[in-house]
């Protein structure tokens, strides 16, 4: 007998990148640019999949090959098993109705009301008027904008505009929702409410979401899986908690640190000197991540090594069961003491470094 889970593991991914590369050809004085290099990844149906990278890393291009706005120069992108690059114009149009998209600057039509913006994809798909009214009213209810249906975009806040964008993207009941830095133009509180809405939409409709961002906070807030992109290559990918627990590359570590608040407090940073001076103490920065994130390093430093240790700042956060954060400590500047302290930290599989010396 075939085990029950065999069927599930063989499920067609919602999106598959199979060795995808994209090079924009040289034009005039501009050299050719390879925006995507040999990318392979699977997005499972119903997942919220985040792609994080710095400016120019290739995030938008990666999103645009999913809905066929760009064609790969090598490899294939499969959406629900269909090779997007092999579709003709008419098939591609039909395919795009199954892929919604939301944007950083909302891209609403200013001359249309909220209702008419959301109705547009349905009108283009040839839906009947009463079906359009039913669907749009339901969507406006879902995004909490039923009372704004007759308003124009200029009369809405940024968060409300993005809610309209989300309702419009969902109008044709897509299987996939692409999010292009959808919260980058919003303040932190509005960002949270939009991310909550996307989570709710995902849970209610099962739509697969692929979002690109340069903010680790967004990944942490709603993604199940994440890929880190740099210079057109995926340098790490996996469940979000794995990335937080054990970032393997310097880029991923710095993204994790941006959420974990690894920075030395400003007042202390100004007083740090690169070398020890008379009576100074060494300032150690310890990154808490992985299975040993909560190891009792302070008591071990004090008790087993006899090191006089002072806590200068610290922050610890959690994703599910995984703890991560940073601790800033000071110990006597004696090189033997510093080496013993770092040895103990690293012995627990944690990263530690001397950030400087403070008198």
Q: Which residues bind ligand ATP (CB under 6 A)?
A: 24, 33, 35, 53, 55-61, 214
SS3 210: strand
Q: State the minimum distance, in angstroms, from the CB of residue 234 to ligand ATP.
A: 12
Show the 3-state SS of 81-96: CEEHHHCCHHHHHHHH
- Measured at the CA of 277, the angle between CA 271 and CA 282, to 5 degrees, comes to 65
Give me the sign of the Cα torsion angle 213, 214, 216, 218: negative
CB closer to ligand ATP, 64 vs 96: 64
Q: State the minimum distance, in angstroms, from the CB of residue 53 to ligand ATP.
A: 5
Q: State the minimum distance, in angstroms, from the CB of residue 333 to ligand ATP.
A: 42
Contacts of 106 (CB under 8 A, 6+ apart): 153, 158, 161, 162, 164, 165
CB closer to ligand ATP, 116 vs 181: 181
CB closer to ligand ATP, 254 vs 310: 254
CB closer to ligand ATP, 59 vs 175: 59
User: DSSP string covering 278-317, please?
Assistant: TT-EEEEEEEE-STTTT--HHHHHHHTS----EEEEEEEE
CB closer to ligand ATP, 210 vs 337: 210
Q: State the minimum distance, in angstroms, from the CB of residue 85 to ligand ATP.
A: 16
Q: State the minimum distance, in angstroms, from the CB of residue 214 to ligand ATP.
A: 6
Q: How far apart are CA 323 and CA 245, in angstroms?
A: 7
């Amino acid at each position: 007998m075939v085990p029950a889970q065999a069927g599930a593991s063989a499920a067609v991914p919602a999106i598959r990148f199979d060795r995808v590369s994209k090079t924009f050809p040289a034009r005039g004085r501009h050299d050719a640019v390879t925006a995507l290099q040999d990318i392979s990844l699977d997005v499972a149906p119903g997942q919220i999949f985040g792609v994080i990278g710095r400016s120019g890393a290739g995030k938008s291009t990666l999103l645009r090959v999913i809905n066929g706005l760009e064609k790969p120069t090598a490899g294939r992108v499969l959406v629900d098993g269909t090779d997007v690059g092999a579709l003709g114009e008419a098939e591609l149009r039909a395919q795009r109705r199954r892929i919604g998209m939301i944007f950083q600057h909302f891209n609403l039509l200013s001359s249309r009301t909220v209702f008419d913006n959301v109705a547009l994809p349905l009108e283009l798909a040839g839906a009947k008027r009463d079906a359009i009214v039913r669907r749009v009213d339901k969507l406006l209810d879902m995004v909490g904008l039923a009372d704004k249906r007759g308003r124009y975009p200029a009369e809405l806040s940024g968060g409300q505009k993005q809610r309209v964008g989300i309702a419009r993207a969902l109008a044709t009941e897509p299987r996939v929702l692409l999010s292009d830095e959808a919260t980058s133009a919003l303040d932190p509180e509005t960002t949270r409410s939009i991310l909550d809405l996307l989570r709710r939409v995902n849970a209610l409709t099962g739509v697969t979401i692929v979002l690109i961002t340069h903010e680790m906070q967004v990944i942490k807030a709603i993604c199940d899986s994440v890929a880190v992109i740099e210079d057109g290559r995926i340098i790490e990918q996996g469940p979000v908690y794995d990335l937080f627990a054990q970032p393997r590359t310097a880029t991923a570590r710095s993204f994790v640190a941006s959420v974990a608040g690894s920075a030395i407090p400003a007042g202390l940073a100004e007083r740090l000197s690169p070398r020890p001076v008379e009576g100074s103490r060494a300032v150690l920065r310890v990154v808490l991540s992985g299975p040993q994130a909560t190891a009792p390093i302070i008591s071990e430093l004090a008790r087993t090594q006899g090191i006089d240790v002072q806590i200068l700042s610290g922050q610890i956060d959690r994703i599910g069961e995984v703890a991560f954060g940073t601790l800033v400590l000071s110990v006597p500047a004696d090189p033997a003491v510093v080496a013993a302290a770092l040895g103990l930290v690293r012995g627990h599989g944690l990263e530690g470094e001397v950030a400087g010396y403070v008198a």
